[in-house]
Structure 1
Amino acid sequence: MRAWGGVGLALLWLGLVGAGCDRGAIAETPVALAEATAVEAPPRDHAAESQKLLEEPDREGLLIGEFRLAEDPIVDGDTIRVEGVEGSIRLLSIDTEEKLRGKANRAAAERDFAAYLEKKRGNAIRPQKAETPMGDQATTFAESFFEGVDVVRLERDDPKEMRGQYGRLLAYVFAEKNGRWTSYNVECVRAGMSPYFTKYGYSRRFHNHLTHAEAEAREAQRGIWSPDAKGYSDYDERKAWWEARAQFIRAFEHEANRRDDYVQLSHWDAEARLEERLGQEVTVLGTIGQIKTFKGLVRVSLNGARGTRFPIIFRDRALFRESGMARHAGEPVTVRGFVERYEKKDYRTLQIEVTQPGQAAFPALPWPNEETESKPDR
């Protein structure tokens, strides 16, 4: 049993509990702690040690632990802070609107909200994020939900997915309400503060809960689903986009469950698995990030765990143009190919080279032939 810096609680880390559940399976309650004993909080300068322990791969599991909320815990409707964890925590399966921060945006939104949203969208093919009054409401909802709460429980959706593209911890958060642990993520959707957010895949553990919560909120016209809401007006379009991505990711994960040559780059062990398969053929799943053109080649970087990038190499520029990579910037992609090592001076990496059409596959997006660019939310 270890004491966590700034937490004041002893944490028991569990192994791979429930990892074999089907996508639609419901986890009725959070992962149970076998034991939770109050201990004296160590000095705050032990926070770095706590952070290091959070990152240890052998501590993978659905349970992250129980933590005290930070002094100012609410960043916005889908992001919180707790003691003992460096940085903020991006809450899974929800995506609340951005709260109004600047005077100019607030004034423009109050003056003509429809025109404000239209300007924010501009000529973009995809729906865009914007600061809205609904973002303020979502933040207020979070503040109300956690009012009087001292300790929260954090859990993962997948034991191998720990942090998002921006390095933030990804989690479901539970607060004790009326003697039972209650999921903020689900209640946020039920209150109409967020849709069920499937852009990065369906929830493995709470898919049914979240689906039913959204249906309930829509039926009752709560929050973002109210015809009078000062929020995004394009949720049907957003949901169609997210659904296409989620189905694509689910199809890959279905294959990955029965094949060891499928590697999801967002998993913490992706690099080690690719090293083990050096010289062998694999299929990787990642999000298209930076695309750079060099003399004689194009390098497409797929975003992976903790800000890592996995290179996909095109030596034929015509093949790159035909591949669809540029049209799907920011979207998930699968690439089939042989893992090879590239070394030049101090630069050393694993990579896959694309030599023929059909090695890359993409989700069936609502905008199949448009040049698009999507930025990560987490």
Structure 2
Amino acid sequence: MIRSTPAILTWLIAAAVAAPSCTPVGGERYSRKVAQKSLKKLEAPGIELGEFRVTKVVDGDTIRVDGLDASLRLLGMDSEETFKNEQDRRAVEASWTQYLKDKKGDSKRPIKAATPLGEVAKDWAKKWFEGVKTVRIERDHAAEIRDRYNRYLAYVFAEKNGTWLNFNVEGVRAGMSPYFPKYGYSRRFHNEFVAAQDEAKNNKRGIWEPGVKSFPDYAEREAWWNARGAFVEAFRKEAEGKPNYIDITHWDALQQLEALVGKEVHVLGTVGDVRIGERGPTRVTLARRMNNDFPLIFFDKDVLGTSGIMEWRSEFVVVTGVPTFYENKQSKQKQLQIQIDRASQIKLSEIPGLTAPTIAPTTAGP
């Protein structure tokens, strides 16, 4: 059974107040009044969400705060992973080079794996939050609330020696993470992140220190992430003042599409699942939330192939088309979708290492 948002909030507030007290960083649990106010803000659009207490540092770029049902995914950061098993620890000790080779396997893209620098980043974050009574949580955009895995997207600020500091930026400045524009440049702190990363690189801090056991392919990662970030930024600029330009990850994206049924829209998203239809159409999704992605429908397999969308899995595209409702004959449920009849409806992002297929020009018949 899926609870409605108000029901979830009621349950969370009750749990936050009634649950046995764990000891968060900074002291005792919130009062009922503060918990109610903060939790309601987290599920509503807005930039400033209020103050919370940190209860756990999960790793260098993920924390938990008092009373929430999910962790915070800290924007603009991508710290290396921490070890989850002894096997990986022993493999690193045996041969760092072989460990990385085994982890990458046949992947054509940089991979995520546990590293010693991931452990360093987690320890650094724990020390950074020591003595901090509360943190202030803010968003980058009012409509960007949670990520695909239900984590809250956030910047975290804490008062240190009388000054409020952005933990996300400070983590990059310390070399605990690169600046991470893989899902778009930071709207609010792009310049600060760039300056912080330059400072970390120039001073050879953290992941930028020669000889440390961190990912050796950051140049490749940065080229990939920046290409994606530039594509998203171009869409954002083109979308200014245009309600038919829609980011599929925004909390209200489906409502926007529903309001524009029958009219042309331009939708930004990353390519998710591809289900080839043997007898019927092929269904390609734009990633949104787990079990709640947005479908693109291809009836023509030649259009599917020449669009290049199958080679762009997990990468950004912009889809141009007309949203319609499809009604399942058996369940009678309606679902929003966009039908793709021409390869030109799919605009692929320019990604290092990927080559878009050449679309042959259409010639007139005799």
TM range (shorter): 0.7 to 0.9
- SS state of the match for residue 326, structure 1? helix
In structure 2, the partner of 1:14 is: none
Q: Distance in 2 between matches of 1:321 and 1:370?
A: 11
**Coordinate RMSD, CA, aligned:** 2.3
- Against the structure 1 CA distance between its residues 315 and 154, is the aligned structure 2 distance closer, same or farther, given a 3 Å change threshold? same
Q: Distance in 2 between matches of 1:364 and 1:40?
A: 47
Q: Distance in 2 between matches of 1:74 and 1:97?
A: 14
- SS state of the match for residue 193, structure 1? coil
Q: Given the alignment, which residue of 154, 163, 172 partners 1:171?
A: 154
Q: 1:337-348 counterparts in 2 under 5 A?
A: 337-344=321-328, 345-346=330-331, 347-348=333-334
Q: Given the alignment, which residue of 287, 304, 325 partners 2:288?
A: 304
Using the TM superposition, give the Cα deviation of residue 296 of structure 1 relative to its aligned residue in structure 2, in angstroms.
2.0
Cα-to-partner distance string for 1:347-370 (whole Å, 9 max, x where unaligned): 321111110121001211111139
153-162 or 319-328, larger mean C-alpha shift = 319-328
Using the TM superposition, give the Cα deviation of residue 307 of structure 1 relative to its aligned residue in structure 2, in angstroms.
5.6
Q: Is the contact between residue 200 and residue 246 of structure 1 (CA under 8 Å) also seen in structure 2?
A: yes
The answer on 1:109 being equivalent to 2:92 is: yes
Q: Is the contact between residue 5 and residue 41 of structure 1 (CA under 8 Å) also seen in structure 2?
A: no
The answer on 1:64 being equivalent to 2:49 is: yes
Q: Distance in 2 between matches of 1:173 and 1:202?
A: 17
In structure 2, the partner of 1:315 is: 299
In structure 1, the partner of 2:249 is: 266
Q: Distance in 2 between matches of 1:7 and 1:214?
A: 37
- SS state of the match for residue 350, structure 1? strand
Q: Distance in 2 between matches of 1:336 and 1:263?
A: 10
Q: Distance in 2 between matches of 1:124 and 1:369?
A: 17
- SS state of the match for residue 225, structure 2? helix
Gaps of 5+ in 1: 9-38, 372-378
The answer on 1:358 being equivalent to 2:344 is: yes
Using the TM superposition, give the Cα deviation of residue 60 of structure 1 relative to its aligned residue in structure 2, in angstroms.
1.4
Q: Distance in 2 between matches of 1:309 and 1:123?
A: 27
Paired letter, 2:243: D
Q: Distance in 2 between matches of 1:142 and 1:260?
A: 40
- SS state of the match for residue 106, structure 1? helix
The structure with the greater share of residues assigned to strand is 1
Q: Distance in 2 between matches of 1:52 and 1:96?
A: 27
Using the TM superposition, give the Cα deviation of residue 84 of structure 1 relative to its aligned residue in structure 2, in angstroms.
2.0
Q: 1:188-227 counterparts in 2 under 5 A?
A: 188-227=171-210
How many equivalent pairs are there? 332
Paired letter, 1:245: R
- Against the structure 1 CA distance between its residues 264 and 112, is the aligned structure 2 distance closer, same or farther, given a 3 Å change threshold? same
Q: Distance in 2 between matches of 1:182 and 1:359?
A: 44
- SS state of the match for residue 155, structure 2? strand
Using the TM superposition, give the Cα deviation of residue 256 of structure 1 relative to its aligned residue in structure 2, in angstroms.
1.1
Using the TM superposition, give the Cα deviation of residue 214 of structure 1 relative to its aligned residue in structure 2, in angstroms.
0.2
Q: Is the contact between residue 5 and residue 84 of structure 1 (CA under 8 Å) also seen in structure 2?
A: no
- SS state of the match for residue 327, structure 1? helix
Q: 1:262-301 counterparts in 2 under 5 A?
A: 262-294=245-277, 295-301=279-285
203-212 or 362-371, larger mean C-alpha shift = 362-371
- Against the structure 1 CA distance between its residues 128 and 113, is the aligned structure 2 distance closer, same or farther, given a 3 Å change threshold? same
- SS state of the match for residue 196, structure 1? coil
Cα-to-partner distance string for 1:148-198 (whole Å, 9 max, x where unaligned): 112111000011100001010010001110111111101100000100000
TM-score (norm 2): 0.86
Of structures 1 and 2, the larger Rg is shown by 2
Q: Given the alignment, which residue of 211, 217, 222 partners 1:228?
A: 211
Q: Distance in 2 between matches of 1:281 and 1:52?
A: 37
Q: 1:35-114 counterparts in 2 under 5 A?
A: 41-42=31-32, 53-54=40-41, 56=43, 59-70=44-55, 73-114=56-97
Q: Distance in 1 between matches of 2:71 and 2:281?
A: 38
Q: Is the contact between residue 192 and residue 217 of structure 1 (CA under 8 Å) also seen in structure 2?
A: yes
TM-score (norm 1): 0.83
Gaps of 5+ in 2: 1-12, 18-28, 358-366
Paired letter, 2:31: A
Q: Distance in 1 between matches of 2:39 and 2:157?
A: 23
Q: Given the alignment, which residue of 136, 151, 157 partners 2:134?
A: 151
Q: Is the contact between residue 173 and residue 185 of structure 1 (CA under 8 Å) also seen in structure 2?
A: yes
- Against the structure 1 CA distance between its residues 112 and 95, is the aligned structure 2 distance closer, same or farther, given a 3 Å change threshold? same
- Against the structure 1 CA distance between its residues 7 and 153, is the aligned structure 2 distance closer, same or farther, given a 3 Å change threshold? farther
Q: Is the contact between residue 167 and residue 307 of structure 1 (CA under 8 Å) also seen in structure 2?
A: no
Q: Distance in 2 between matches of 1:61 and 1:274?
A: 21
Q: Distance in 2 between matches of 1:51 and 1:370?
A: 46
Q: Distance in 2 between matches of 1:340 and 1:314?
A: 14
